Amino acid sequence: MNRLDQAFVEGAEQGAVRLLPFLPAGFPDVSTTMAILERLTPKGCTAVELGIPYSDPIADGPVIQDAFARALATGFRVEDLWSALREARPRLAVPLIAMVSYSIVFRRGPERFVEEALMAGIDGLIVPDLSIEESPVLHEICQQRGCALTMIAAPTSTARRRETIARISSPFIYYQSIAGITGERSALPPDLVQNVESLRQLGGKPVCVGFGIAKPEHVRDVCRVADGAIVGSAIVRRMIAATDRGVPHAALVDEIVAFIEELGAG
């Protein structure tokens, strides 16, 4: 088992729920990404999703799109992220999941991308624009190399697609709580409990919920019914606001780490 698999096994043994924060890799720069990662511990979060900037994201809302655009405008390159992660990985205590467009994976070649990701210390992938029909190739490569591949189920997914997603997803199933793009919401959807339980029964795996989770109370409410909460836009919005205020590097890192800890405490 890799670090991500182990974290979920240990969480299940301990009856623990999970927080999975999302960070936009390379925003405002790669050094800030590494500094935040170095401050996060398994007590505060189970794993971190690292969003790899892409010019045409399929599911990201305006906040994450803005962070990606800024990272790309400053010259972000995947090679720079891999290099920084290889150097920092011995100091990082939490598993890492790369959330990446399949266009990037395909352009580099699935085998090459997975190998590079693993060498950099990535433990799993989430590829939101990878269709079920096109997933077998990447799924097989990930299985052979020991890289987790987490699939996303949406409220609009058919029963047949949910069955396939639940079967091939590891070590957890990502449930997109609302149809549409990422972003903060004021309330959680009423069908959340039913859909989470259905996926859990189909796959016999933990179900973590993302899209729309913005506050500690949201994390608390989600974790009453699901196995984990994924928070993205609320974190990224604070990063953008701090950057626009000209907050110094160290203070920005402190602010984001404190907010993630606040979410975890929820």
Nearest CA to 200 out of 177, 226, 223, 221 is that of 226
Residue 224 within any structural domain of the chain: yes
Residue 4 within any structural domain of the chain: no
Name the catalytic one among 10, 29, 56, 60.
60
Residue type, 204: G
Residue 6 within any structural domain of the chain: no
- Do residues 186 and 219 make contact, with C-beta atoms less than 8 angstroms apart? no
pLDDT at 183: 45
Residue 28 within any structural domain of the chain: yes
Measured distance CA(103)–CA(127) in Å, rounded: 10
CATH number at residue 68: 3.20.20.70
pLDDT at 188: 67
Residue 39 within any structural domain of the chain: yes
pLDDT at 60: 65
> pTM, whole model, 2 decimals?
0.92
Is 111 an active-site residue?
Answer: no
pLDDT at 266: 66
Is 38 an active-site residue?
Answer: no
Contacts of 117 (CB under 8 A, 6+ apart): 82, 98, 125, 147
Residue range of the domain that includes 230: 18-265
Sheet holding 173-176, edge to edge: 148-150, 124-126, 96-99, 48-51, 18-24, 228-231, 207-210, 173-176, 152-153
Name the catalytic one among 29, 49, 184, 227.
49
Q: How many domains does the chain have?
A: 1
pLDDT at 11: 74
Residues lower than pLDDT 70 in the chain: 12-13, 15-17, 57-60, 178-188, 266
Tens digit of pLDDT for each residue in 104-163? 999 999 999 999 999 999 999 999 999 899 999 999 999 999 999 999 998 889 999 999
